A and B are shown apart, each in its own frame.
Chain A
Amino acid sequence: MITRTSLAAWLGAAATEADFEALYRAELPRVYNFFRYRLGDDALAEDLTSETFEKAWRNRARYRRDLAAFSTWLFTIARHVAVDHYRRRRLETPLEAAARLPHTLSTEDAAQANADRERLRVLLARLTDRERELVALKYGAGLTNRAIAGLTGLTESNIGVILHRALHSLRAEWESQS
């Protein structure tokens, strides 16, 4: 008979290697894709994902299971890492990328899937900062509106409205380019 008393407890005093590895495997793709959607740069996403996990590990003693789900806590760190990054670098990449939006895309030049991803990357760069962060949390990290509300302090309905508006804008731009 096997008994498990906790579904996620890698940060407590009884954390085990297996617990940590399971959570790492579960959360790494979400954090990584959050940064990819947020910044539109794979290499940068790797750097900031590393920074997030390293900070989480260094500050594990501050995590309190009774206050927040592990995922929420991790994404709180990830959001701060993104903000710090923008402060440090004052990135202009989104605007530059938007200016480079190709008007025509040849299916002969690249696989359609890659072309779609590239187009989407550039269109994401045209969203407002808040819209892009919410899109990154929702579609990059795969968080629910409820979880996003817990992270951002916005209401679920407000998040729904902003995401709906962002999706509408992306759809219009996408179709105008097709």
Chain B
Amino acid sequence: MNDEFLTRFRRPPPPQFAARLYERIAQPMLTQTKHPARRRAGLAAAGLLAATLSAFMLFPSARALAGGIIQQIGGYGFTQDASQVTPVQKTGAPGNARPPDMVVKSQNSVSIQSTSKGPSAPDAAGATRLAGFTVLAPSYLPAGFSSMSDWLVAPQGNGRVASRGYRGGLNNFLIINEWSAAGSAEQDYARSTIVDVTINGQPGVYLPSPTNDAGRKDALVWAENGITYSLITDSVSQADLMKVAEGLGK
């Protein structure tokens, strides 16, 4: 008998019960009168979105800006080759003092080029002391992956981020970011496809890369107990990312 055994007693709620309860709770919300000001704000936002999309269609510089935003997730910029290293400017919350780290990838190698001045620690316990929150180490890594850096801890937004890179094979990578943001700081993630997922019961999103070539960068992002976690990879499947996510701190 092990941990798994104790989950056998679980059972999904009866569908009729779930539907009845939802109806009872949601009804007051569904019958709320929409505030006129909020409706006007919605229309304005839709207009702005349409204008932005038009700009992206018409101007190459706007498309480049969008590409830049897509390429910076979790404090990392990405390049495909060392000769093409071009730091991507972070556009996160105001006061963000941390320049992006670089994943430098060539045909036969991958490495993290840290531009952070922050301290590092060889294990999660050390990173926890530096970060001021509990840094969770993965209990599961995809086959062939091992760490390629210490935990790097640096200020980001209103909090701190702890990051560690893992290498798989010659040049595949997986990066774990754990970000504690005080107050209401939020990170925006922009992708053309966003898949809703549930990790440890928490809502999250899987952001597949728009391309499947050498520049592929997929991300899994969720928030739990005030910490925003993100896993970035060029090769690990969504299923394996979910396993890594569920295994953090266990």
Contacts and interface: CB of A to CB of B under 8 A. Distances in A.
A149 to B, nearest CB: 10
B183 interface: yes
Interface in B155-182: none
Contacts of B1: 167, 170-171, 174-175
Contacts of B201: 26-27, 30, 71, 141-143
A106 interface: no
Interface stretch (B4-12, B75-83, B99-107, B231-239): B4-12
Given A8-B223, A49-B13, A146-B134, A116 B8 contact: yes
A75 B224 CA distance: 14
Given A116-B8, A171-B1, A26 B202 contact: yes
Interface of chain A, helix or strand or loop or mixed?
helix
A9 B4 CA distance: 32
B198 interface: yes
Nearest to A113: B8
A1 B53 contact: yes
B25 A69 contact: no
A26 B198 contact: yes
B6 A120 contact: yes
Given A7-B203, A20-B29, A135-B6, A69 B192 contact: no
B29 A17 contact: yes
B30 A147 contact: no
A2 B194 contact: yes
A53 B10 contact: no
Chain A, interface size category, equals: 35 or more
Contacts of B11: 33, 36, 42
B250 interface: yes
Interface string B177-198: 0000001101011111010101
A121 interface: yes
A36 B134 contact: no
B204 interface: yes
A138 B198 CA distance: 17
A5 B8 contact: no
A95 interface: no
A62 interface: no
User: Closest 4 CB pairs between A and B?
Assistant: A139-B6, A32-B13, A171-B1, A33-B10
Interface of B: 1, 3, 5-14, 17-18, 21-22, 24-26, 28-30, 52-53, 56, 66, 134, 183-184, 186, 188-192, 194, 196, 198, 200-205, 221-226, 249-250
18 contacts: A7-B203, A7-B204, A7-B221, A21-B26, A29-B12, A33-B9, A36-B11, A49-B13, A53-B25, A65-B184, A71-B202, A120-B8, A121-B9, A139-B10, A140-B9, A144-B249, A174-B1, A175-B1
Interface of A: 1-8, 15, 17, 20-24, 26-30, 32-33, 36-37, 42, 46, 49-50, 53-54, 57, 65-66, 68-69, 71-72, 113, 116-117, 120-121, 124, 135, 138-144, 146-147, 150, 167, 170-171, 174-175
